[in-house]
Structure 1
Amino acid sequence: MAYSEIDAIRALLGSKPRPVGWSERRQRLDEVGSTWPVAPDVTCEAIDCDGVPGEWSAVPGSELSRVLLYFHGGGYCSGSIVSHRRLVTEAGRAARMRTLAIDYRLAPEHPYPAAHEDALTAWRFLRRQGVAATSIAVGGDSAGGNLTLALINRLRALGEPLPACAWLVSPWTDLTMSGRTLATKDAVDPLIHKTYLAELADAYAPASIDRRDPLISPLFADLAGLPPVLIQVGSAETLLADAVRLAEAAGSADVDVTLQIWPHMIHAWPVWNANLEDGRRALACAGQFICTHIR
């Protein structure tokens, strides 16, 4: 059943040609990401996080003192609260806590380090609301997974308290694009290809920036001291090697890391959880992981 469901998602993604312009790409991701709306019992509220747009969400029974801070994917150039609302709100349900989704600034209009600055601003906004660091989980998919790691590494360097745990879905961890599966999975990945990633990387981190910088490519960071990390990735992703190598590096640094490789799944598949059983199962696993580590 799950395999036929993922075929339907593949058909949805391939139903229109890939857009060319940035605004068209953003519109398309919002469109496919919001194909299925949020559940009727979800409450959403727009919030200004000290100049960075955000959105609270909760369902009945959510523990309001605990928060999932979430950064959407989209290669740092697209994606939004709209495109990822269904994913974020259902992740909050699974973790039994409220969520704070962030609309960080996008490249190429706002290249590195704009998104990093917005992530740190959102974190500090949340802390000033009285939420303890140990009551916060930070998560993201694709570029949002990259941004999650970058935020934690910045907090660690600043000597600030770290979140209780990190949740990464299909993380883009290597902007030098040296992962082997960029070639070996190219034929089965309907979304992410090396030439496309190169365009995104050029927009986000111009050639003058060293893309091996740990804040650009967290795969190359010193990962020692990170909180527990859950990495979820699909077997049909060109970014599979980014996730596997990150898990290996984190484990070698004595980080409590869990790597889940989901058969047949494509990039950021939990986005379509409303019509994809494996998307719902992935969120349930993430919710259990977060609940285990949140105080």
Structure 2
Amino acid sequence: MASWRDPEIAGVRALMAARRPDPGAPPPSHAERRAAMDAMGEAGALPTGCWHEPLTLGGVRCERVTPEGALGERRMLYLHGGAYTAGSPRSHRPLVARLAAAARTRAIAADYRLAPEHRFPAAVDDAEAVYRALLEEGVAPASIVVAGDSAGGGLTMALALRLKAQSLPQPAGFFVISPWVDLSQSGASYRTKADTDPMISKPGLDASARDYLGGLEASDPLASPILGDFEGVAPVLIQTGSEEALLSDSVTLADVLAHARVDVRLEVWPEMIHVFHAWGAALQAARRAIHVAGGWMDERFA
């Protein structure tokens, strides 16, 4: 049994354990999981002076989040996590708002289509459509950072590859949290972190990958971006926790980017779990990571 030096992450783990379904309970349906994620997000507090509103960009429903102190035409295009089968701008609103405030930017959270109703590459198509719409509105690429967590982190890197393939201008940078970038779940951390990750398991992501791919191959780089050619893409910041099954995805992604001569920075936060940033109200480490990411984005913007 592992022990944790950080008492706050120990408290978060205890809270998660108390909420865990009883052994043998049936897994929640997609509808139940989506409703639970949205409810948690809508219950979270936003930074003082922050507001949000719905809008549509490129035919995709989105939410614009504007923190106090947002500068100029800066935009953070945010792609939420949820294993491609759940999540929305509502579920991730507090996290998006905190990141936007830290980077002094407006955020556009894309409500991209979810599997299994809308399978690969629908999410990639929606992310590209929103990015194109920002460009068509006159937002300079150097004033855009694309960010995402978990599946949204994988989608962020898939968008980087799609933009390159379409000869579209790269944004100022890409920021990803605990990205899911290998839909074959082949990393060593699925084994080495199986006992310390309270959220993610290989069987769970295997099922979500099947829902998303719909019979297509995980070897497509737009599904598993670690298989892509990133030469020429914008700088990338990766933040991940040391105690998550997806740790190998982040480490491998950093290696792939480095070999492609991309300006990449990998941060592995000790004792932290999957998308620990979402616990900003309870974790000082989450607030520090958001502050660091905000500073990195602030430096990238023109």
Question: Normalized against structure 2, the TM-score is what?
Answer: 0.94
- Does residue 250 of structure 1 match 2:253? no
Supply the distance in 1 between the matched residues of 2:123 and 2:249 (Cα, whole angstroms): 20
Partner of 2:51: 43
Supply the distance in 2 between the matched residues of 1:30 and 1:189 (Cα, whole angstroms): 22
- Does residue 189 of structure 1 match 2:197? yes
**Tell me, which stretches of 5 or more residues in structure 2 are unaligned?**
22-26
Map Cα deviations across residues 140-169 of structure 1 (whole Å, 9 max, x no partner): 000001111111111111111011100000
Partner of 2:297: 290
* Deviation for aligned residue 1:227: 0.7
Given the superposition, is the C-alpha separation of residues 219 and 180 from structure 1 closer, same or farther in structure 2, using an over 3 Å criterion?
A: same
Equivalent residue of 2:131, what SS? helix
Q: Is the 8 A contact 1:13 1:32 kept in 2?
A: no
Aligned residue identity for 2:15: L
Aligned residue identity for 2:286: G
Partner of 2:283: 276
Partner of 2:83: 75
Equivalent residue of 2:118, what SS? coil
- Does residue 147 of structure 1 match 2:118? no
Partner of 2:24: none
Partner of 2:217: 210
Please identify runs of 4+ aligned residues in structure 1 that moved more than 3 A. 31-35
Supply the distance in 2 between the matched residues of 1:90 and 1:17 (Cα, whole angstroms): 27
Partner of 1:259: 266
* Deviation for aligned residue 1:33: 3.9
Supply the distance in 1 between the matched residues of 2:72 and 2:30 (Cα, whole angstroms): 36
From 30, 34, 57, the counterpart of 1:22: 30
* Deviation for aligned residue 1:21: 0.7
* Deviation for aligned residue 1:28: 2.1
Equivalent residue of 2:220, what SS? coil
Question: Normalized against structure 1, the TM-score is what?
Answer: 0.96
Aligned residue identity for 1:118: D
**More divergent stretch after superposition (178-187 vs 14-23):** 14-23
Q: Is the 8 A contact 2:58 2:132 kept in 1?
A: no
Given the superposition, is the C-alpha separation of residues 235 and 24 from structure 1 closer, same or farther in structure 2, using an over 3 Å criterion?
A: same
What is the percentage of aligned positions where both structures have the same residue? Answer: 43
Supply the distance in 1 between the matched residues of 2:59 and 2:50 (Cα, whole angstroms): 25
Aligned residue identity for 1:171: P
- Does residue 54 of structure 1 match 2:57? no
Alpha-carbon RMSD:
1.5
Q: Is the 8 A contact 1:2 1:277 kept in 2?
A: no
**Tell me, which stretches of 5 or more residues in structure 1 are unaligned?**
none
Q: Is the 8 A contact 2:6 2:271 kept in 1?
A: yes
Partner of 1:84: 92
